[in-house]
């Protein structure tokens, strides 16, 4: 949104610039202070050709002429996309009638400890594999208990396929069926009932595995009034425990989900 008089201000600045003057270089980003830990962006960039659950892709259009290099002006695009585009959050109301929607989720539910369950080795040979209760128990034997209120994240290595497009990310086989890892309904129920987790996250297109036809994990998560993150990336950079997740989801009115920038700090 441009304030009244902005156009005149821009013109006056442009007209007052010395002819042929070199553009001012942008200020370098300030360095993260030492001793504050690390931050990882777990989000894919939204783009018109990005992989997706269906064939409805985001579209964009530039509003007005691009600002020339080094000049001052306002660059604006118009995007058209669904609520479940790219790295995004599923609210409980996405799958359960009357469930909470994105604006109903309290801010403190979106800043939570992260537990990262690494199943990359198994997923490499079995794309239909799921995170099961035994994976949770094995994780806790190795790393300690999953904290109450944590987000449990599946690291399958699947986000490495993102640049290869829809067929690779969906794991499309010769018969047209999809194959990629996800959570089992039993593991979701266990984590909700025994660990009181806040939510779930996957580096694939769905909390359920790609070959699911009943979406049982979605139902368990939704009925438990928890949220789910889909299409995360870079989970291999996180420690198994110790990171804090911040979910910056777009808070659309009555939204069943929303694109999100998900950051991890440890």
Per-residue pLDDT of 12-62, as tens digits, reads 444 444 444 444 444 455 454 555 689 999 999 999 999 999 999 999 999
pLDDT reported for residue 64 = 87
- Give the residues of the chain that fall short of pLDDT 70: 1-36
Q: What is the CATH number of the domain that holds 222?
A: 3.50.30.50
Residue 1 counted as domain residue: no
In angstroms, the CA 59 to CA 132 distance is 37
- pLDDT, position 36: 62
Contact present, 63 and 78 (Cβ < 8 Å): yes
Total domains in the chain come to 1
In a domain, 61, yes or no: no
Assigned domain for 51 exists: no
- Determine, yes or no, domain membership for 97: yes
Tell me if 234 is assigned to some domain. Answer: yes
Instruction: Give the span between the Cα atoms of 221 and 64, in whole angstroms.
Output: 43
State the sign of the Cα–Cα–Cα–Cα dihedral 47, 105, 92, 262.
positive
pLDDT (0 to 100) of residue 34: 54
- The reported pLDDT for the residue numbered 170 is 98
The pLDDT value recorded for residue 121 is: 98
Specify if 3 maps to a domain: no
Q: 59: closest CA among 32, 77, 42?
A: 77
Mean pLDDT of the chain: 90
Output the pTM of the full model. Answer: 0.87
Tell me which H or E stretch contains 77.
Answer: strand 77-80
Is 238 a member of any domain?
yes
Please report the pLDDT score of residue 24 as a whole number. 45
Question: What confidence score (pLDDT) does residue 31 get?
Answer: 54
Structural domain contains residue 193: yes
Say what the pLDDT of residue 153 is. Answer: 99
Could you tell me the residue range of the domain that residue 235 belongs to?
A: 88-265
- Residue 51 near residue 170 (C-beta atoms within 8 A): yes
């Amino acid at each position: 949104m441009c304030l009244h008089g902005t156009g005149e201000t821009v013109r006056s600045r442009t007209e007052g610039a010395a002819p042929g003057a070199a553009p001012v270089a942008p200020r370098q980003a300030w360095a993260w202070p030492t001793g504050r830990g690390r931050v990882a962006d777990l989000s894919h960039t939204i783009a018109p050709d990005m992989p997706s659950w269906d064939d409805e892709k985001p579209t964009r259009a530039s509003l007005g002429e691009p600002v020339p290099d080094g000049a001052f002006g306002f660059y604006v695009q118009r995007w058209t996309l669904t609520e479940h585009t790219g790295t995004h959050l599923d609210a409980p109301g996405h799958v359960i009638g009357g469930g909470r929607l994105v604006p109903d989720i309290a801010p403190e539910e979106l800043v939570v400890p992260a537990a990262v369950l690494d199943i990359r080795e198994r997923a490499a040979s079995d794309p239909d594999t799921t995170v099961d209760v035994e994976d949770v128990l094995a994780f806790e034997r190795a790393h300690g208990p999953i904290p109450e209120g944590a987000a449990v994240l599946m690291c399958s290595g699947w986000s490495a396929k993102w640049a290869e497009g829809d067929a690779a990310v969906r794991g499309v086989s010769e018969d047209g069926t999809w194959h990629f890892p996800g959570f089992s309904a039993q593991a979701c129920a266990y984590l909700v009932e025994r660990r009181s987790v806040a939510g779930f996250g996957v580096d694939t297109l769905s909390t359920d595995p790609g070959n699911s036809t009943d979406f049982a994990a979605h139902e368990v998560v939704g009925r438990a009034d928890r949220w789910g993150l889909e299409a995360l990336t870079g989970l291999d950079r996180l420690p198994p425990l110790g990171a804090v997740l911040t979910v910056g989801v777009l808070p659309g009115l009555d939204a069943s989900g929303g694109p999100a920038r998900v950051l991890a700090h440890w």
